[in-house]
């Protein structure tokens, strides 16, 4: 197995493992109740078996879950065929990279309180730190290179925008939101929407940064190839 395909596979396995572990913990109601407040989606569900369906929907409503799925699916495709290429896959690669980076940064800046211990604490680190770092590191070393272009960058926020629309529409129906900074009941729509817009813009900035890094890596690689040929 080629080295980059092996690392694509490792990346995919870690993302799927984190997704599965988070599903078990969230749906199984194993996260501690510390910090739950009115208006957060894990607050309104019944405990035990009666809340299973609701907690399943909640699990599938977190941005982190969407981020893990994006990484897992894209890296699985690349692990199956490291030379695979298509416009959709290029957008998906940047989308996954963008979402997992935003997940890590937003969690550390706005959400992390270090209250989880044991298996929940391990999974919190796995999905918010390890998966993003591994995903970015694999991209830095193994690419694929040259996939990020200006026309693709706006497309990379389509999935996050879909999640935002879904989140606010669902929140309007059930009066509950996945993250405190989106909690309209606490902060109001202007503040929640402004924060969301800021994160989207921040995501676009990250995508531009990755575009610049990709370009630099390609330039350095070309120079190295030229010197080797000489």
pLDDT, tens digit (0-9, with 9 covering 90-100), for 137-166: 999 999 899 999 999 999 999 999 999 999
Binned at pLDDT 50, 70 and 90, residue 34 comes out as very low
Give the angle 114-124-193 at the CA atoms, nearest 5°: 85
Question: For 94, what's the count of Cα atoms within 13 Å in the CB-facing half-sphere?
Answer: 31
Q: Is residue 35 pLDDT above 50, yes or no?
A: no
Residues in CB range of 70: below 8 A, 6 or more apart: 92, 95, 96, 99, 100, 159
Number of domains in the chain: 1
Its domain, for residue 124, covers: 3-229
pLDDT digits (tens, 9 = 90+) for 131-140: 999 999 999 9
Mean pLDDT of the chain: 86
- CA distances from residue 80 to 43, 76, 83, 95, 219 in whole angstroms, order as listed: 40, 6, 9, 19, 28
């Amino acid at each position: 197995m080629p080295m980059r395909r092996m690392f694509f596979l490792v990346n995919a396995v870690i993302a799927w493992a984190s997704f599965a572990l988070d599903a078990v913990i969230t749906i199984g109601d194993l996260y501690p109740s510390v910090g739950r407040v009115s208006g957060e989606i894990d607050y309104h569900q019944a405990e035990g078996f009666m809340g299973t369906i609701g907690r399943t929907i909640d699990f599938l409503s977190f941005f982190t879950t969407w981020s893990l799925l994006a990484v897992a699916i894209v890296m699985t495709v690349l692990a199956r065929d490291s030379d695979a290429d298509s416009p959709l896959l290029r957008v998906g690669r940047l989308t996954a990279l963008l979402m997992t980076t935003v997940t890590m940064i937003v969690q550390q800046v706005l959400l992390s309180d270090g209250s989880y211990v044991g298996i929940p604490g391990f999974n919190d680190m796995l999905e918010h730190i390890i998966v993003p770092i591994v995903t970015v590191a694999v991209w830095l070393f193994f690419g694929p290179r040259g996939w990020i272009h200006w026309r693709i960058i706006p497309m990379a926020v389509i999935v996050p925008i879909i999640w935002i629309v879904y989140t606010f529409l669902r929140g309007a129906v059930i009066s509950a939101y996945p993250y405190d900074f989106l909690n309209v009941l606490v902060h109001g729509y202007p503040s929640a929407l402004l924060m969301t817009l800021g994160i989207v813009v921040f995501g676009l900035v990250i995508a531009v940064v990755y575009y610049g890094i990709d370009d630099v890596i390609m330039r350095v690689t070309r120079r190295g190839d030229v010197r080797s040929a000489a």
